[in-house]
Amino acid sequence: EAQVVASGGGLVQPGGSLRLSCATSGFTFSRYWMHWVRQTPEKGLVWVARINIEGSDTSYEESVKGRFTISRDNAKSTLYLEMNSLRAEDTAVYYCASLTTPAILGGQGTVVTVSS
């Protein structure tokens, strides 16, 4: 069974940084495009970033462009999200997933809280 588990969240001040990780198992990580999705009560589920198989092509939701960087280590089957210049509106539960069809979802997310 495919599993994805995000970690690395926490409380950070506005302007600060965090690095999220996503450990995966049960599927051939190196064959899947991977994504980060976040969820808040106000906005619901929102796609944040995606990366191709080789890690050479990335795409971001407009509000995080230039601040967030998605990356991957295929040897470790691990996905990352480097988050800089964090804002209060980045507060959310962050999930990693593969949104290629059928999607790989269902792993526990990690909570990021941006507050002073």
Footprint on this chain of another protein (rule: CB under 8 A) = 35, 37, 39, 44-47, 50, 59, 95, 99-109
CA 86 to chain centre: 14
Q: How far is the CB of 75 from another protein (least distance, A)?
A: 26
Q: How far is the CB of 34 from another protein (least distance, A)?
A: 12
Closer residue to another protein in complex, CB, 23/105: 105
Closer residue to another protein in complex, CB, 23/99: 99
Decide if 41 contacts 113 (C-beta within 8 A).
no
Q: How far is the CB of 113 from another protein (least distance, A)?
A: 18
Closer residue to another protein in complex, CB, 56/102: 102
Closer residue to another protein in complex, CB, 14/89: 89
As a whole number of angstroms, the distance between CA 89 and CA 30 comes to: 32
Q: How far is the CB of 44 from another protein (least distance, A)?
A: 5
Q: Phi and psi for 31 in degrees, rounded to 5?
A: -105, 0
Sign of CA dihedral 35, 82, 31, 62: positive
Strand order in the sheet with 18-25: 3-7, 18-25, 78-83, 68-73
